[in-house]
Structure 1
């Protein structure tokens, strides 16, 4: 649908205008959503197989709904008023990890800014709660970026499912495998907050569970210049599949990190193909003298490859987002 026709389209309770953004895009359609309105209704109004960026601007407030960007709704820029001001909250631990998320982004070419997604089933955490898997967000589309967003939960908070993703200046909170999946992603300058101590002060959690399944997959999680902190104790991660790849680079690791650093999913699983490593990290949790023997040391060439933005973007898709990040 041409942009001028979309701008003229009347949608009940949703205001449409055309605004100019700053990254070489002359005009972008904007749909405004207020606290008495529905984010999902705004998404539903976007034409299928749209090829132009459409901004859905969400006012400050708490939106109690489950939100899905389906595969046929690409080029959506979902913009909140700030991760501390705009939140989407839903409580669900039923069905599979693909059914329960508060927010599911299935389409390619999605950009989200300034929104926190919460699965309230186990959140906020408290002693004695009935702990179940409760996913706050599922990201399954390719070429998707999240800027200044929040993801809050306890067990399995962020399903970084598949595709190339970029998370910058985000806050991700949880206790058990709370960044998990088979995505090919860089987390840059993010806050990684462990909250297992809110339930059990002596508890030990797991931050990352990456699911690379074979040696030909290019997927992996790179936590670059992140700040890892929280309450309780935590492993940096555990391999979900035999070729799991996780790299902590130039990140600050607080004393919540256990000396071993990593733990196997099962005690007897092979370790030869697991690719987990730490490079140039700082803080009291970065001491590697007691790390597991199967942690890898990368070459300088490997460090450069995995920490470069080209690892997730060798075609320039980040430069084509509506704003520069």
Structure 2
């Protein structure tokens, strides 16, 4: 790859581009040069799409509190309208909030509004990383579609299947917040993960480690349910708040095939970490078996692609 190309986006008119999408549109097809798109503070009300052929894009905001991208698209006849639709390899974002407002009745002015899948982000592509970003939604917040993905120090908020898909992803030092939205249902339970691993050879799986799983004090949630018949989620060395339900996991599409599901909790603490009433088919891993998931080099980064990203993170 050649030297990094830099582009600035600002709503103040102090740069060539006022929208993120207009800056992305200038990146050539079959791109192989890192393009650094620096995004000034502001609320950018737009859907951002990174086409499959536009590799090596690095989106950097001022911070997740200052640079916010929001839209209100939702699933319609199996079509997705995410706030961020990233389909390219080698996509990086840092210091940005991606928000989907569709399921926020306070913003829509409709207390009887039906909750629908409404994605804050859809990530499909290999070797993608999100550093210190926030993803806000209610149902299907992050569609972790396919490829190897790394989420570091991110904040992910939702209520129903708000991390779902069939990617091979690590969520490291993240905050996972269960919330149905400011004005959402008060007594509805939720689910964090819905992993769609479909066979023993499928490399998909979600690892949440060194993270904080918490809630807004309303309702309980399960850690995951089997979107695929071989669904796989490992939670390690994390704090589990009292928002976690005693059973912990639900078979869903894996019902009657619970032995194929790989749901693991190891080294976790907090009031929600009591495993005495967990489902009996939850698995236990230790030593090398656990390390193949919790070691970033073994799980998603054997060739060292993360260290080669044009970004510094702690």
1:202 Cα shift?
A: 2.4
Q: Equivalent residue for 1:32?
A: 8
TM-fit CA distance, 1:200: 2.9
Query: Equivalent residue of 2:272, what SS?
Result: helix
Q: Once the 2 structures are TM-superposed, how far is the Cα of residue 323 of structure 1 from its aligned partner?
A: 1.8
Distance 1:132 1:215 in 2: 31
- How far 1:170 sits from its partner (Å)? 0.3
1:205-243: per-residue Cα shift (whole Å, max 9, x none)? 001000101000111000011101112210011010111
2:189 to 196, 200, 204: 204
Q: What is the rounded CA distance, in whole Å, between the counterparts of 1:267 and 1:43 in structure 2?
A: 40
Number of the residue aligned with 2:207: 222
Q: 1:261 aligns with which of 226, 234, 248?
A: 248
1:150-165 to 2 correspondences below 5 Å: 150-165=134-149
Aligned residue for 1:111?
Answer: 92
Counterpart contact for 1:196–1:204, Cα < 8 Å: no
Provide the rounded CA distance (Å) in 2 between the counterparts of 1:277 and 1:294.
10
In the alignment, which residue of structure 1 is the partner of 2:174? 190
Residue in structure 1 matched with residue 154 of structure 2 by the alignment:
170
CA contact (8 A) 1:197 1:203 kept: no
User: Per-residue displacement from partner, 1:109-145 (whole Å, max 9, x unpaired)?
Assistant: 0110011111110137796432111111000010000
- Cα 1:97–1:38 change in 2 (3 A) is farther
What residue number does 1:82 align with? 63
For residue 249 of structure 1, the aligned residue among 207, 225, 236 is: 236
1:324 corresponds to which residue?
312
Contact (CA 8 Å) 2:49, 2:85: kept in 1 or not? yes
Are the structure 2 counterparts of residues 216 and 29 from structure 1 closer, same or farther at C-alpha, using a change threshold of 3 Å?
same
Q: Offset of 1:98 from its aligned partner?
A: 5.5
Structure 1-normalised TM-score?
0.89
CA distance in 1, matches of 2:254, 2:96: 39
Report the secondary structure of 2:27's partner residue: coil
Match of 2:25 among 25, 44, 53: 44
- Displacement of 1:267: 8.5
**Partner deviation per Cα, 1:168-225 (whole Å, 9 max, x = no partner):** 0000000000000001000000000000385233221001000101000111000011
Count of aligned residue pairs for this structure pair: 301
Match of 2:293 in 1: 306
Q: Unaligned 5+ residue runs, structure 1? A: 4-26
Q: TM-score under structure 2 normalisation?
A: 0.92
Does the aligned pair in 2 maintain the 1:97–1:135 contact within 8 Å?
A: no
- Work out whether 1:120 is the aligned partner of 2:104: no
**Structure 2 unmatched ranges of 5 or more:** 13-17
Distance 1:178 1:125, change over 3 A: farther
> Is 2:254–2:260's contact at 8 Å kept on the other side of the alignment?
no
Aligned-partner Cα distance in 1 for 2:102–2:60: 25
* 1:136 is the counterpart of 2:120: yes
Call closer, same or farther: CA 1:267–1:317 in 2, change over 3 Å.
closer
Q: State the SS of the aligned residue for 1:32.
A: strand
Give every structure 1 segment of 4 or more consecutive aligned residues whose post-TM-superposition deviation is greater than 4 Å.
124-127
Q: SS of the residue aligned with 1:303?
A: helix
Cα 1:45–1:278, aligned 2, differ >3 Å: closer, same or farther?
Answer: same
Relative distance call for 1:202 and 1:32 in structure 2 (3 A) is: same
Cα distance, 1:48 vs structure 2: 1.4
Q: Cα deviations across residues 244-289 of structure 1 (Å, max 9, x unaligned)?
A: 0000000100000000001121584321100011000000000000
What residue number does 2:15 align with? none
